[in-house]
Structure 1
Amino acid sequence: MKINIPKEVEFIINNFYKNGYEAYMVGGCVRDSLLGVNPKDYDITTSAKPEETISLFKKTIPTGLKHGTITVLINNNPYEVTTFRTEGSYLDNRRPSSVDFVTDIKEDLSRRDFTINALAYNSTNGLIDYFNGTNDLKNKIIRCVGNPDKRFKEDALRMLRAIRFSCQLSFDIEDNTYTAIKNNYKLIENISFERIRDEICKILISPNPSKGLELLKDTNLLELILPDINSLVDFSPKCTNHNRNVFEHTLNVINNTESNLILRLSALLHDVGKLKTLTSFNNGSFYGFPGHSIEGSLMSKKILLKLRFDNNTIKIVSKLIEHHLVLNVNTMPTKYEVKKLLIDVGKNNINLLFKLQRADINSLDNPKVFLEKVAYTEKLASEIIENNEPLLIKDLDITGENLIYEFNLKPGKIIGDILSFLLNKVLENPELNSKEELLKLAKTNFNL
């Protein structure tokens, strides 16, 4: 079996062999190559000790010297090179207490998580597969190397990785491996939120995100890493206006979205506010979720903050959730209202909002009239953007300095109040956006 090795990777491997060491491309890059997928990066493993690796190449970075990892730079492209190693007992189901360097590739591969990742390759020895990883690739199986209980106790994140690979590759998780996840799910509490977040993101942007969430639910991992989403399971108020299981509805909405992290995070969390807003009207004859989009926006901020998402992601997702509802389909929005929406959501994010709305609506029984309102709103938004109509104070044909100079004002709150007033006027009528007209408006309405 022949696998294509990029020239720079081949150079690194050959350089080790010229100096009396073994070296292989290893792990995900071998797996992806066998699947016919272009690897995103290439990891290399070698019998050379870290100090020896450093001596063999002109440019290196000791990124993980203690654990045997050196980054080798070839034409400024980074390649992680790690010495064959075994690992001591693990601390807190997260990291090994010690690392021992070895000279046998089999010992190194035996410590890896799944058989499909315990593969190595070079042009000299061909494919190294001690744990039948190629059979599992052929049969589309995720299976732990050796004892799955041991693998998950070593690093509990591997439970999420198993589910993530299942979603990314459309593979099934082997029975013993799956049972071990169910038996060890509580160990995930020992893993940092940052590492959990990264796996959630990869599950969400995979080809099968809803499958991932189902697996998380079935293994009980969901209740520990996303308890608010787990609370939506079996939450299906039986009433005339809402008879959907909210968790299943959420999965449908996610399935209706493209692979965009912001969009799928928004879809995942868009109805979480229903948990706190279910309200009975007319002695129980009618139920609703008044304000659930606002509540969901607030809840999403807390959930994403806990998972250590960056501020920009939190801001955009919470805004999309706040505005995801499409109501009052008998009344179309005015241009002024669409401008206010553009200001609040942001021109760069407005299309994500429309995609979220459509994903939500398309999970309903009768989406047509709601889709028509989204289309109308989208058309107005496009016109506003294409015409470069003013939306922000910085778009006004006047500045605070102009106001200070023309009316002999002092810097302070009054300047902001005047500019906000003028912006609102211009939002209603873009033709007012000239310095002359704006000065007139300011003078008349603020007795200047």
Structure 2
Amino acid sequence: MIVTNLPAEFEEAKEVLGAIQQAGFEAYFVGGSVRDTVLKFKIHDVDIATSAYPSEVKKIFKKTVDTGIEHGTVTVLDHGRAYEITTFRTESTYQDFRRPDHVEFVRSLKEDLKRRDLTINALAMRPDGEIIDLFNGLRDLKEGNIRAVGIAEKRFHEDALRMMRAVRFASQLDFAIEKNTLEAIRHNARLLQNVAVERIHVEWIKLLLGKNPKTALKDFLVTDLYRYCPLFADKKAIFEKMLTFENLQIGSEDAAWTLLCYLSNFSSSAVKKMLRAWKSSNDLIDNVTIATGVVDLIEQQKMNTWIYYKSGFHRLEIANEVATILGFGIDHAVLKENYAALPIKNKHEMKINGGTLIKNLRIKPGPQLGRVLTEIEHMVVTGKLENQTAVLLKAAKKQFEMEE
């Protein structure tokens, strides 16, 4: 197969491949960018594999960075762009099911491609667009199959994350996992517990945000992979519930976790425990904690002005996306209109603050000051006070007098 009208990213990188070839070595585009080009998807990073050893690559180009030199990867800087150039390699045994004991550089493209995870990722392409397909990856792309390269058991023992990648690609591409590959995942699912949580996290979210997450979730369950993910061992019923939704399309990681936590009937502390176990960022934890509570309020039809205000629009959208999946979401235009109607969007828009009260009312800093400001903020948001300095100062003075 020859790809005509190569994407601009490949055209821009041809000069780099040409320089390697002129120096007497082989060089090819490899991996996901080739796969996505065949599928006519937008490509992102362009990866290059070569028969040149890292030291030889560094002699060819003026500007290089040793980004992964021990694994054969050198980054070449060319015309303001960065390209990862990786030497063909084979890998030894994998005693920990995630990292090779050592890497050996080779001159053979076939040896390099046969160590890759899936046939659809074991494609190489020459600068003229000719695809090199040694493992029937093009056939699997055409037929919609996810198949391990060679013997699936070996591939998963080399890196157990490949099992999650197989399931993730089934969702992302809406492909089916070939039966021998699926069976190998089922036999080796326990090996996933040897993989860093952060790596599993990336694949799990890509799975949920894919084109067909329901198919992938079925594979996730039938292979028992879920049992070896943080705090998922007792979540089979939750995942089965997700399979009942007619149209399970999730737009963001925030929404994915919010849906899972809501279906699990998690308290705020349980949400935080789950997300910390998955090594999530503080922003994600905060968003999901608040959004999960808002989903419950939407379902109970207990939304009010103060909830809109305290949640913030981004978290409202997360919660409403989940509520919509569950069948009780608010019309997005109404959600947007209700939020836009708030007198203020955050406390910094108030015409007074702690300094204003200390200066004008000669109030000392302390817990009382904070309580009064919160009460004034609530009254502004709920429309009981106009957001004008004089009005708020008068209300604050009255509030202080009531507390004395």
TM-score, with structure 2 as normaliser: 0.91
Residue 278 of structure 2: which of 290, 307, 312 is its match?
Answer: 307
Which segment is superposed worse, 320-329 or 77-86? Answer: 320-329
Distance 2:108 2:176 in 1: 31
- Would you say the 8 A contact 2:231–2:274 is kept in 1? no
Distance 1:256 1:113 in 2: 28
Residue 137 of structure 1: which of 129, 141, 159 is its match?
Answer: 141
Unaligned runs of 5+ in 1: 236-245, 274-294, 363-369
- The yes-or-no answer on 1:271 pairing with 2:263 is yes
- Would you say the 8 A contact 2:2–2:129 is kept in 1? no
Alignment partner, residue 59 of structure 2: 55
Residue 433 of structure 1: which of 379, 387, 403 is its match?
Answer: 387
Residue 317 of structure 2: which of 351, 357, 374 is its match?
Answer: 351
- Would you say the 8 A contact 2:47–2:85 is kept in 1? yes
SS at 2:363 equivalent: coil
Counterpart AA for 1:25: F
Superposition pairs of residues 393-404 of structure 1, within 5 angstroms: 393-404=347-358
Q: Return the offset for 1:256.
A: 4.0
- The yes-or-no answer on 1:191 pairing with 2:195 is yes
Which segment is superposed worse, 2-11 or 12-21? Answer: 2-11
Residue 367 of structure 2: which of 409, 413, 432 is its match?
Answer: 413
Structure 1 residues 356 and 7, CA gap change in structure 2 (3 angstroms): same
Alignment partner, residue 386 of structure 1: 340
Q: Return the offset for 1:49.
A: 1.0
Deviations 1:222-274 (A, max 9, x none): 1121544x5343x5xxxxxxxxxx5433234593444322112212332112x
Q: Return the offset for 1:428.
A: 2.8
Distance 1:325 1:95 in 2: 43
Counterpart AA for 2:336: S
Residue 307 of structure 2: which of 341, 350, 354 is its match?
Answer: 341
Distance 2:346 2:137 in 1: 57
Q: Return the offset for 1:167.
A: 1.2
Residue 231 of structure 1: which of 227, 231, 234 is its match?
Answer: 234
Q: Percent identity?
A: 36
Q: Return the offset for 1:414.
A: 2.7
Counterpart AA for 1:87: E
Which segment is superposed worse, 143-152 or 427-436? Answer: 427-436
Counterpart AA for 2:258: S
Residue 295 of structure 2: which of 324, 327, 334 is its match?
Answer: 324
Residue 153 of structure 1: which of 150, 154, 157 is its match?
Answer: 157
Structure 1 residues 348 and 247, CA gap change in structure 2 (3 angstroms): closer
SS at 1:128 equivalent: strand
- The yes-or-no answer on 1:204 pairing with 2:179 is no
- Would you say the 8 A contact 1:148–1:176 is kept in 2? yes
Distance 2:111 2:299 in 1: 65
Q: Return the offset for 1:384.
A: 4.8
Q: Return the offset for 1:89.
A: 1.2
- Would you say the 8 A contact 1:271–1:296 is kept in 2? no
Alignment partner, residue 365 of structure 1: none
Deviations 1:400-439 (A, max 9, x none): 1221111222322232122112112212326522111111
Deviations 1:70-116 (A, max 9, x none): 11122322211100111111130011111111111111111111111
- The yes-or-no answer on 1:181 pairing with 2:185 is yes
Alignment partner, residue 255 of structure 1: 247
SS at 2:313 equivalent: coil
- Would you say the 8 A contact 2:17–2:127 is kept in 1? no
Distance 1:36 1:251 in 2: 29
Q: Return the offset for 1:215.
A: 0.8
SS at 1:78 equivalent: strand
Q: Return the offset for 1:150.
A: 0.9
Which segment is superposed worse, 398-407 or 260-269? Answer: 260-269
Q: Return the offset for 1:45.
A: 0.3
SS at 1:120 equivalent: strand
SS at 1:323 equivalent: helix
Counterpart AA for 1:231: D
SS at 1:25 equivalent: strand
Q: List structure 1 runs of 4+ shifted beyond 4 angstroms.
A: 326-329
- The yes-or-no answer on 1:77 pairing with 2:60 is no
Distance 2:235 2:398 in 1: 54
TM-score, with structure 1 as normaliser: 0.83
Question: RMSD in angstroms over aligned alpha carbons?
Answer: 2.3
Distance 1:164 1:194 in 2: 15
- The yes-or-no answer on 1:108 pairing with 2:112 is yes
Counterpart AA for 1:424: H
Distance 1:114 1:385 in 2: 47
Counterpart AA for 1:305: R
Q: Return the offset for 1:191.
A: 0.2
Alignment partner, residue 284 of structure 1: none
Unaligned runs of 5+ in 2: none
Counterpart AA for 1:443: K
Distance 1:123 1:271 in 2: 49
Alignment partner, residue 23 of structure 2: 19
Q: Return the offset for 1:125.
A: 8.9
Alignment partner, residue 128 of structure 1: 132
Q: Return the offset for 1:378.
A: 6.9
Distance 1:391 1:35 in 2: 44
Structure 1 residues 98 and 309, CA gap change in structure 2 (3 angstroms): same
Structure 1 residues 344 and 46, CA gap change in structure 2 (3 angstroms): same
Deviations 1:275-306 (A, max 9, x none): xxxxxxxxxxxxxxxxxxxx344322211111
Counterpart AA for 2:316: I
